[in-house]
Structures are given as structure tokens and as C-alpha cells.
Amino acid sequence: MDLNFTPEELAFRDEVRSWVKASLPQDIRHKVLEHKRMSKDDIVRWQKILNGRGWFAPAWPVEYGGAGFNAVQRHILDEELSAEGAPQIIPFGVSMVAPVIMAFGNDAQKRYYLPRILDQSDWWAQGYSEPGSGSDLASLRTRAERQGDHYLVNGQKAWTTLGQHANLIFCLVRTSTEARKQEGISFLLMDMTAPGVTVRPTITIDGEHEVNEVFFDNVKVPVENLVGTEGKGWTCAKFLLGHERTGIARVGISKRELAQVKRIAAQESAFGRPLLEDPLFRAKIARVEIELMALELTALRVVSAERAGKAPGPEASMLKIRGTEIQQGITELFMEAVGPFAQPFVPQAFDAAWHGEPVGPEYAAPLAARYFNYRKTSIYGGSNEIQKNIISQMILGL
């Protein structure tokens, strides 16, 4: 297994690095690096720039308008985008529902939905989790009853990320209660603006409106919006989650964030000397950095295996576990690095236009909220406890 980049891959890295430096709007870059709030317009504007270069859908086949990049190219692109401070691509359309439509959808669905994902016509949300059905997703209760040429959907979804921006949602719904619970689930594409759909904000502990509850009250969904075969949505769900868990590792973002922690800790602290001179804090930095290096090598092993035509196995769950734990560890280091300046939590500090008077340096103001927000990373995409079960089943057969 060769983990070194070829000369062609190194040339591609240089090309990406130069383009991102020249093309990433500075106002967007500032928001990302200073942990400011990103608007929908910011995200769409950047994704349109990426799409104009042909890099918004790097994993998509060329026949569908994607870049057709291999696993190594996608890894390099992600590394360079993250290092420069580009916003994370919203995955629900381009990286989650699109692969499902390509793999299980019919020709009409591919012709209609895929171009609209590329040109930002549609913003997708994910309708998986429900109250009482998170990691045990197969226990979901949202019902879709077939009535002629449409389904009638009733139920509730929870933790719908950025659902307030979405006009479409892909949902797992129960179309049968007679079969084994995994076999009675179907995969539906639904219009968020349809009568009977209600989106209610869930304000999280960091004070942000990032997630929502979505209620379906006799919502009519055309039968042609069914992806794949009725009752076989669990196959689509497992396929999609494999894509989601690998991406949650966020190696590139963690490398950028850890470098920023080091820069802050190298400055004079609230107590005088730079915190980086404290051997105990340096040991904490070293530990996270070593874990991050190991995570990156694991990611490169997965990339190398994909380059050789092998599908990810339990490594996807490994990347999810360690990646999210490292992300949480870095937020803890940020808090320690700024010391008492992290304690005053000012929600308005997330806004780039805010000109208030934070206690301490302005970059410290959003860090407490970021720490709180990142408590969720080890839960979504299948909790880390569930991932350990998956690993034990796939490797040990337990």
C-alpha cells in the first residue's frame, strides 16, 4: 500500500492550492477562520464558485456533470479547501441524496434532480432521525400510506440540520408494518413547501438555530418520488450512511483548527506568558496532534484502498469515531488556550457585522458556543457507541 502522492497528484495539489487562494472570497474566508455565522447566501455563493470550476461534485461521474475525481484527488481537494478556510460543503444534496439517486433512482429522477443539485436550485435536508429513533433508526414510525398515485405521509422528524433553508427533503418512511422492521421502510423525496409540512426550530445549547423538527400532516407525495423499490429503503439508508460517516472525519478541518490553537497558545495569555510554554498544555497539544496524524494515515489507507478498487469497510466507522473525538478535543484546547476570555458567551459574536465589545480578543467570543456545538459530533451519523458495535460485528463477527 503506497501512501505517497504521485508527481501527477502533487501537481494537482498545487493547482488546487493556487485556485482556492485566488477564488475564495475573503469575506467568506474570514467568517470561516473566525468561526462566524455563515448565511445561506454565503454557502450558496461559494458552492456556485466551486461548481463553476467543476469541483462542487468531485465524486460524481462526468456523465452526471461531476469531476469524476478518484479518491486521492478528492482527498487532496478537501485538504486544500480546508487549509485555506473554505466553508464545508453542505452534504445533503451533493454527497448524500445524489449518490442514492445515482445508485437506486430511475432515469427521470436522475435527469431532474441531479442538475438542480449542481446549480444550487435545490437545497436538500435529511429526514432520518425521529424522537426515539436516532441510532436505532430502523424503529422509525413516520408512515407513508399508498393511496392511488400518491403516498399520504404522517409523522415527525427531528434534528433536521438546516431544514429552515431546504425546499426538498429525502425521508425514510414506514410503508409496511407487517415485514421485519428494516424491510418495511421506503426512501421518499418530498417537497418541503407542500401543504402539511411544518418546520419548527430547535435552538441548541449554543444559542443557534441549526436544527429543526419537521412535522408531516397528511402530506401528499407523488408515487414517482419513491427511490428504488417500496420496502427496500433500508438498503438506500445504509448506502447513504457509508458516505456520511467517512466525511464526518474532517481531517483537513481539524488540521487547520489545531494550527490555529497553536497560534493562539503561542501568544501572551491572560496570565502573562504564552500557554504553549506550559509543559502540561504542550503535552495535550502533542497528544491530539499524534492522534490526528494517525487519523490522517488511516484516511490515506482508505483512500489508497479505494484507488485500488476496494470499498471502505469498518474503516468508515473508525474514521467517524476518532475524527469526532479529535474535533471535540480541539474545541477543548481552544477553550483552554483563551482561558477566561472564552467564558463570556455572546451569541451576536457569530455575526461578521457585529461590532460589540467582547471580553478579550474578538476571536475568543465564539469559542464557547463552538465547544457546546461540537458535543453533538459523536452522536450524529450514528453514535460512536453504535459505530463500535458495527466494528465488532464486521471484524470480530460478534
pLDDT tens column, 351-361: 777 666 666 78
**pLDDT (0 to 100) of residue 374:** 93
> Is residue 63 domain-shared with residue 133, that is, in the same domain?
no
> Is residue 78 domain-shared with residue 136, that is, in the same domain?
no
Q: How confident is the model at residue 2 (pLDDT cuts 50, 70, 90)?
A: low
Count of domains observed in the chain = 3
Task: State how far the Cα of 261 lies from the Cα of 334, in Å rounded to an integer.
Answer: 6
Q: Which domain holds residue 285?
A: 250-396
> Is residue 212 domain-shared with residue 315, that is, in the same domain?
no
- Over residues 99-113, the mean pLDDT reads 97
**pLDDT (0 to 100) of residue 245:** 54
Q: Distances from the Cα of 56 to the Cαs of 69, 192, 267, in angstroms?
A: 11, 24, 37
> Is residue 336 domain-shared with residue 199, that is, in the same domain?
no
> Is residue 255 domain-shared with residue 387, that is, in the same domain?
yes
Evaluate whether residue 225 is within a structural domain. Answer: yes
Last residue of a domain, one of 197, 232, 267: 232
User: 300 or 371: which carries more pLDDT confidence?
Assistant: 371
> Is residue 369 domain-shared with residue 269, that is, in the same domain?
yes
CATH of the domain at 38: 1.10.540.10
Evaluate whether residue 241 is within a structural domain. Answer: no
> Is residue 264 domain-shared with residue 391, that is, in the same domain?
yes
Name every residue whose Cβ is closer than 8 Å to that of residue 13 and which is 6 or more positions away in sequence.
Answer: 5, 76, 79, 80
- pLDDT, the chain, mean: 90
Task: State how far the Cα of 130 lies from the Cα of 155, in Å rounded to an integer.
Answer: 9
- Over residues 248-265, the mean pLDDT reads 93
Q: Is the pLDDT of residue 212 over 90?
A: yes
Q: Is 306:312 a contact under the CB 8 Å cutoff?
A: yes
Name the catalytic one among 80, 130, 210, 244. Answer: 244
CATH of the domain at 374: 1.20.140.10
Evaluate whether residue 258 is within a structural domain. Answer: yes
pLDDT digits (tens, 9 = 90+) for 294-317: 999 888 888 777 766 676 678 878
**pLDDT (0 to 100) of residue 349:** 67
Evaluate whether residue 103 is within a structural domain. Answer: no
CATH of the domain at 162: 2.40.110.10
**pLDDT (0 to 100) of residue 16:** 98
Q: Distances from the Cα of 314 to the Cαs of 254, 295, 304, 380, in angstroms?
A: 22, 14, 15, 17
Write down the residue that cell numbers 470550476 correspond to. Answer: 53
> Is residue 255 domain-shared with residue 225, that is, in the same domain?
no
Evaluate whether residue 365 is within a structural domain. Answer: yes
DSSP H or E stretch at residue 346: none
| 244 tagged catalytic | yes
> Is residue 295 domain-shared with residue 260, that is, in the same domain?
yes
Evaluate whether residue 113 is within a structural domain. Answer: no
Last residue of a domain, one of 35, 65, 88: 88
> Is residue 372 domain-shared with residue 285, that is, in the same domain?
yes
> Is residue 77 domain-shared with residue 184, that is, in the same domain?
no
> Is residue 135 domain-shared with residue 70, that is, in the same domain?
no
Q: How confident is the model at residue 362 (pLDDT cuts 50, 70, 90)?
A: confident
Evaluate whether residue 98 is within a structural domain. Answer: no
C-alpha dihedral, 76 to 300 to 334 to 360, nearest 10° = -10
**pLDDT (0 to 100) of residue 49:** 98
Nearest in space to 235 (alpha carbons), one of 158, 315, 163, 172? 172
Q: Is 27:46 a contact under the CB 8 Å cutoff?
A: no
**pLDDT (0 to 100) of residue 1:** 54
- Over residues 127-145, the mean pLDDT reads 90
Evaluate whether residue 107 is within a structural domain. Answer: no
pLDDT digits (tens, 9 = 90+) for 44-95: 999 999 999 999 999 999 999 999 999 889 999 999 999 999 999 999 999 9
Long-range CB contacts for residues 23-26, cutoff 8 Å, separation at least 24:
23/49, 23/53, 24/49, 24/84, 24/85, 24/86, 25/49
pLDDT digits (tens, 9 = 90+) for 146-174: 999 999 999 999 999 999 999 999 999 99
- Over residues 371-376, the mean pLDDT reads 92
